[in-house]
Structures are given as structure tokens and as C-alpha cells.
Chain A
Amino acid sequence: MTRDNSYAAVLGRKNEIMKRALGIDFDDFIQSPIAFDYERMMRETGYSHEDIVRIQTDSKVGNTPLFELKNLTEAVRKVSAPGMGATILVKDEAANASGSFKARRASISAFEAQKKGFAGLIAATSGNYGAAVASQAAMRGLQCIILQEVFDSRDICQPEIVEKSRACEAYGAEVLRLSVGPELFYMALRTLEETGFFNASLYTPFGIRGVETLGVEVAEQVRARFGKDPDAVVITHAGGGNVTGTARGLLLAGCAQTRIVACSVDLGGLHMASDTDFNKKSFTTGHTGFGVPFATWPDRVDVPRNAARSLRYMDEYQLVTQGEVFYVTELLTKLEGLERGPAGNTSLTAAVTLARQMDRDQIVVVQETEYTGAGKHHNRQLSFARENGIEIRVGDPSGNVPGKTLVLPERLDQVRGKVQDMDRLRLSYLKNAAKAHPVDQWNENDYAFVAADIKSEEAWVKLAVSNLENK
């Protein structure tokens, strides 16, 4: 028998493929087209926090160092008002096996896949997560397939993703390299169906629970060294798992007052599914092309309900430009003797802005770094931009136009970032929720779910949706 592998037929088999490839019955948690029992789903992964710590310790993940960036903090204080300039700390997540915090996510999925007797794991991801899954699969003797979006129709590959292909193959994975398009998901479903492998999706409870240890470690390390909780933790945001898991870990450790600041690189104006825009980006993750859609509607992924729900946790969402991140990356190298990759340094860039607005005795934590190297390095991303016709110059970063002009700041005080309006993001979430489930059919449970999902009050939600309806 041959299967119908047309696009429509494969997507039509989505639910049965996903159910078999995860062993989680989402129907058990789902309450309506929008509401589900999120906390029970997170609890019933079958792992306690202690289990997760033990699994990660066994798989070369976690317990990464927390460094104080004294020279960068000093430089920020020089351009801050008197008494201002918080201490900047960074958690060196590049020290995890495979070089990023994504190992925390992959470690629990790989453990679960092995426990359930799957022969292998599959993940559709062009970023660090692929290398993380491949590395965890390697140490457990499991097979691994990584699907990546790599090249455009001119056959030009984004250098950072080429490095990810290399890393995955180095760990013994089969790498399926695909051209530009959202059909990555289609091909992932086909591959899951054909192989019977475990779906190591980025968005399962296993993955997100795995990131909680990062938040707990931040809390413990800051307390041990400074005798208090961090005032703010800055977290690079793409799909939202980094924010969700870290914030949950901070809350688990009792950091109820810590400000959760999400941060993405602003790629406004570039279309994520466009073949021509694909290689005009100098960032492959941690940018608004993922960050905004995922924050304002998490349930757009390869599992029926997404465990990564960043609006539930964030207090603030900062945007930075590509040029600002490359500038701060170079500063980190030159001032701190630490050469690290772009996605991690996105939150470092926002932290520079925040630190200037905070008191000297406060603490801002950048909760990750990632490795850097050929393809990923900021010099390569800039030279690639130049090859693709992007203008690069030094000046005021307000001149950045994604896909056209990339401006490296001249001075640290020009690193300013920009905040997003949280209520606009919440309204955008509500519009998406209303599309998924017409508001006249919402019951009290739906309102309560939505309010919690956007860290708001039910009264605010009710007023906001009635305003939407009246438009």
C-alpha cells in the first residue's frame, strides 16, 4: 500500500500522527477550542523537578556558570545617569552539551523517547535545538533525524543553518535539508509517519519543563552570590519556550518579584515564508518573525497544545536591532574576553538598555549564551548580509531597516532598544483566540483561561473583547 503523500492528505492525518509520535493524549486536557488545563498538562509529564535535574546531570546538561560582566557593567555606568547602571550577570549556557540552553529541552525528550522504547527522535528545527536533540540522541544510542529549512531557490544557504547541519551530522544524525517554506512541518509529519520515531517537538511539556532548571539555577546562583533575588531576567524570545521555562523555574524558586523581560531582534517588514526574504535576515532565531506570532498565538505548532506560552509570564517585551546585537556581541568579546553567539547576545543587548534605567545596586541577569563559530559568527552574518546587497554602516541604530540597512552603533549610549506595547500584544492574542473560538461561545472557563494566558484580569479581557466585537 502506498500512502497519499500530498500536502492536504498528510496534514489531514496530523492528529493521528502526532498522537502516536508523542504518547500524550491531549484530549485529556482540552476543554474547548481554546481552553485547556495547562498546569495539569505540565504536571502530568511524569517528571518531578528532581527527576529533571537528575536526568540533565546524567546527560551533560545544566549547572552552567553565572558570570558577572564587570567591564561591561562599568561601561554602561559611564553612559548612565548618576546612581544608575545595574550589575549585569550572564549565565553561560554555551557550556551545555551541544552549546546552548536547548540541550535542557532535548534532554527530557530523549529520556522520554528512550523510556517509551522509540528507536529514534525527530525534530524540525533549523537552530540550536537540532544539534541539542542530535547530541542527546547520540549519548543515548538513539537514532535521530533533523529537518531544517536551509536554502533558497538560488541554492544559497544561510550560513548559520549550514553550521547547524554540520553539527547535527557530526553527532550522527540524518539531516534533511529543505528549501524555504512552511512545508517543513509537512515533511516532519511524513517522516514521523514513515519512521515511527518520537516527536521531539520544541513545544511539548517535556521540553518546557526541561528549561525550568535554568530559572531555578539563576535564582539559586544569584542568591548565593548577592544574597537577594535578581531584579530582572532578560530572555531571548522566538517560539517562547525560553521565556516560559525560565519564568516557571524562577517562580518555582520563589522569585515572585523578579521582572521577566522578553527580547527579540526586530525583523519587522520581512516575510518569514518568503524565498527572497530568507537570506536577507542576519538572524535565524530570537527575532520578531517568530517571537510576535508565537507570543500572540502559541497554538500554531507541531503539537495540539503548546506548552510554551510566553504571554503568561512576561512583564515586558523589548526589541533590539540586528546592528545593536552585533555591536554588543563585539563588545562582549573585547571587554569581557567572551566570544559567544548571536541569539544569546540578543538578551544581552536588551540588558544593556535595561541596566542603564536601573539602580546601581540592582541586578539584571542575561539567562543564556550560545556557542559561536564558523557560519554563526557575527562577522560571517555581516559579510553574508553584504554579499546579499544589505548596506552596512556605522551610525545611529535608528537607521536600521531589516533587509536593507544594518547600522552598527558608534557608541554604547546609542544602544537603546525599544519596548513593545504589552496591551497591543494581548489584544492581538485575543483576536487570534476569537478566530479559533467565536467570543459569543466563550464560557467562564474560557475567560479565566485567556486571562491567565495573557497575564491579565478577566475584567480587562471582557472589556477588550467587547470592544473588539463592536468594531
Chain B
Amino acid sequence: MSVPKGSWVEIEAVLLKPEERAPNLPPDTAKVPYLLKVSGFLTEDSELGQTTAVRTLIGHEYRGLLKIVNPSYAHSFGATVPELLGIGRRGKA
């Protein structure tokens, strides 16, 4: 998919490969790369999944793989946890 320059996107970059990471990490952390994600405006027409660059809200440029077009925040209040509903109820015997 081709994404036009100027689109608001998220890129991902490997900052440190597993062997380049900090010493003394727990094994589960040591075996995976250290990653950066940042959102910005695409500096050129680009393909999803290809290396490209973005300019952030304050104008800095970062390079990485184009991952998401129009990244959004979808965090929520979550599925109701019924165990909470019993707490502090009025008129409860």
C-alpha cells in the first residue's frame, strides 16, 4: 500500500539488537531487540512495511519501518470486572 507524504503515521526502528543491549538484563529481555516507535508526518511517499522517515510534532526526523497509517489511541475502561460492582453499594444487606 502506498502512503502519501504528509500522512500521520507510526514507524518502528530497532535501536539495539539483542547482542548490543545493556549488560545484566534478565534472559527474557536480553533475547529481544530494543525497539522505538514514534509517530510523525511522512517526509516522502512511502510503502507500508518499508523504511522511511517521519517528522514529529516538534519537527525532528526519525527513520524506521512504516507500520501504521493514522495511528490512534483506543485505550478504554476495559471489560467490566463484576467483582468491583459489589464494593461500597448502598442499601446492601
A276 within 8 A of B: yes
A327 to B84, CA, bound (A): 8
Residues of B within 8 A of A175 (CB): 38-39
Residues of B within 8 A of A7 (CB): 16, 20-22
Fill in one digit per residue for A159-176: 1 if any B CB lies within 8 Å of its CB, else 0: 100110110010011111
Are B16's CB and A379's CB within 8 A? no
Q: A179-B33, A377-B78, A408-B84 are known; give 8 further A-B pairs, CB within 8 A.
A: A151-B35, A151-B37, A159-B78, A177-B37, A186-B22, A187-B15, A380-B75, A381-B78
Residues of A within 8 A of B34 (CB): 178-179, 181, 183
A4 CB to closest chain B CB (Å) equals: 12
Contact of A386 among B20, B26, B57, B81 (CB under 8 A): B81
* 15 A-B contact pairs sorted by A residue (CB < 8 Å): A7-B20, A7-B22, A145-B60, A151-B35, A162-B75, A165-B73, A166-B73, A178-B15, A179-B35, A183-B16, A274-B29, A327-B87, A330-B84, A383-B79, A384-B78
Are B79's CB and A273's CB within 8 A? no
Are A330's CB and B87's CB within 8 A? yes
B7 CB to closest chain A CB (Å) equals: 16
A383 to B28, CA, bound (A): 25
A393 within 8 A of B: yes
A378 within 8 A of B: yes
A143 within 8 A of B: yes
A448 to B83, CA, bound (A): 52
Interface members, chain A 360-413 (any B CB < 8 Å) = 374-375, 377-384, 386, 392-394, 408
Fill in one digit per residue for A31-70: 1 if any B CB lies within 8 Å of its CB, else 0: 0000000000000000000000000000000000000000
Question: Which of B22, B29, B76, B80 counts the most chain A CB atoms within 10 A?
Answer: B29
A248 to B32, CA, bound (A): 43
Are B28's CB and A274's CB within 8 A? yes
A145 to B60, CA, bound (A): 10
Are B57's CB and A172's CB within 8 A? yes
Fill in one digit per residue for A328-364: 1 if any B CB lies within 8 Å of its CB, else 0: 0011011100000000000000000000000000000
The range of chain B's interface size is 35 or more
Are A392's CB and B88's CB within 8 A? no
With contact pairs A169-B39, A334-B88 given, residues A382 and B58 touching in the complex (Cβ less than 8 Å): no
A165 to B29, CA, bound (A): 22
Contact of A383 among B40, B58, B78 (CB under 8 A): B78
Fill in one digit per residue for B1-37: 1 if any A CB lies within 8 Å of its CB, else 0: 0000000000000011000111001101100111111
Inter-chain contact total with CB atoms closer than 8 Å:
133
Are A393's CB and B87's CB within 8 A? no
B29 CB to closest chain A CB (Å) equals: 4
A142 CB to closest chain B CB (Å) equals: 10
Contact of B81 among A174, A195, A379 (CB under 8 A): A379
A2 CB to closest chain B CB (Å) equals: 14
Fill in one digit per residue for A298-331: 1 if any B CB lies within 8 Å of its CB, else 0: 0000000000000000000000000000110011
Residues of B within 8 A of A382 (CB): 78, 81, 83-84
Fill in one digit per residue for A1-17: 1 if any B CB lies within 8 Å of its CB, else 0: 00000110000000000
A120 within 8 A of B: yes
A275 within 8 A of B: yes
B56 within 8 A of A: yes
Residues of A within 8 A of B32 (CB): 153, 179, 275
With contact pairs A162-B73, A179-B34 given, residues A273 and B26 touching in the complex (Cβ less than 8 Å): yes
A78 within 8 A of B: no
With contact pairs A166-B75, A384-B78 given, residues A275 and B28 touching in the complex (Cβ less than 8 Å): yes
Are B78's CB and A181's CB within 8 A? no
With contact pairs A177-B38, A181-B25, A195-B60 given, residues A374 and B77 touching in the complex (Cβ less than 8 Å): yes
In the complex, the 7 A-B pairs of residues with the closest C-beta atoms, listed nearest first: A334-B88, A383-B78, A380-B78, A375-B75, A174-B56, A330-B87, A153-B32
Residues of B within 8 A of A177 (CB): 36-38
Are B75's CB and A159's CB within 8 A? yes
B66 CB to closest chain A CB (Å) equals: 16
Are A274's CB and B26's CB within 8 A? yes
A375 to B84, CA, bound (A): 16
A176 to B80, CA, bound (A): 31
Are A6's CB and B20's CB within 8 A? yes
A250 within 8 A of B: no
A381 to B83, CA, bound (A): 13
Contact of B58 among A120, A162, A178, A273 (CB under 8 A): A120
Residues of B within 8 A of A380 (CB): 75-78
A182 to B86, CA, bound (A): 39
Contact of B84 among A120, A150, A276, A378 (CB under 8 A): A378
With contact pairs A176-B38, A330-B84 given, residues A183 and B22 touching in the complex (Cβ less than 8 Å): yes
A13 to B83, CA, bound (A): 51
Residue of A nearest to B23 (CB): A7
Fill in one digit per residue for A224-257: 1 if any B CB lies within 8 Å of its CB, else 0: 0000000000000000000000000000000000
A462 within 8 A of B: no
